[in-house]
Amino acid sequence: MVVKKVTKTAAKTAKKAAKPSAKSTKPAAKKAPQSMPYDQGKWAHVYTRVKGERRYWLVKSEPDVFSFDDLEAAPKRTTCWDSVRNTGARNFLRDGMKLGDLVFYYHSNAEPSAIVGICEVVREGYPDHTAWDAKHAYYDESSDPEVPTWFMVDVKAVRKLAREVTLPEIKAEPALSEMALVRVGRLSVVPVTESEWSTVIAMSER
């Protein structure tokens, strides 16, 4: 699949960084990807599920880079969630998200920042080819296609929320006080619990 849009939250800053000194800004991962299982660590629970269980997630994107409307307008209302270059988020993409899981679509750096829509995982973790595309803004020269470091999933738009649920509302809601979105900054993919999921949905409907 060809990716013409440079994607998601990463992209804007990527362009910025790519211009001045094409290659110098390369963070990233020399170590081989960590392997399953995650039986310890604070996110261990999100990698296990009872049979048939559906889990919930949230992905962030800057709306002027790739908004929920853009996703709804995309072919098959689907996109690959590429360019994530953070190992924690990578682990969720590679090992956490499963077919049929539901995902909140969050607009970051927006006015206001808010959860605006719902999408669904339609393809499970697979290598993010942009990592070894030397022309891509998020090219990672240390990433070996034989042993991929970075992964992505495909997500498909399900529907827009009846009303967006803004970050201030989320922060003001006691039932959401433990949400990874607010407890852990800077992660572009985070887990959402089932109760957080229902709380946000309910907020969007009143």
Partner DNA sequence: GCCAACGTTGGC
Contact residue for DNA among 4, 19, 23, 27 (CB under 7 A): 27
The total of other beta-carbon atoms located within 10 Å of residue 1's CB is 10
Q: Which strand (E) or helix (H) includes residue 121?
A: strand 114-127
Asked if 184 interacts with DNA (CB under 7 A), we say yes
Name the minimum Å distance from CB 187 to DNA.
6
With CA atoms as reference, report the closest residue to 116 among 62, 177, 184, 166: 166
Of 23-31, 71-79, 118-126, 172-180: span binding DNA (CB under 7 A): 23-31
Asked if 67 interacts with DNA (CB under 7 A), we say no
Asked if 28 interacts with DNA (CB under 7 A), we say yes
Sheet containing 189-192: which strands, arranged edge to edge?
78-80, 151-166, 114-127, 102-107, 56-61, 189-192
Contact residue for DNA among 131, 187, 200, 203 (CB under 7 A): 187
Only one residue has tokens 């690959």, namely 80
Question: By CB under 7 A, what part of segment 154-173 binds DNA?
Answer: 167-168, 171
# residues contacting DNA (CB under 7 A):
27
Contact residue for DNA among 7, 188, 199, 204 (CB under 7 A): 188
Contact residue for DNA among 7, 86, 143, 199 (CB under 7 A): 86
Alpha-carbon span 158 to 7, nearest angstrom: 19
Alpha-carbon span 114 to 59, nearest angstrom: 11
Asked if 136 interacts with DNA (CB under 7 A), we say no
Asked if 85 interacts with DNA (CB under 7 A), we say yes
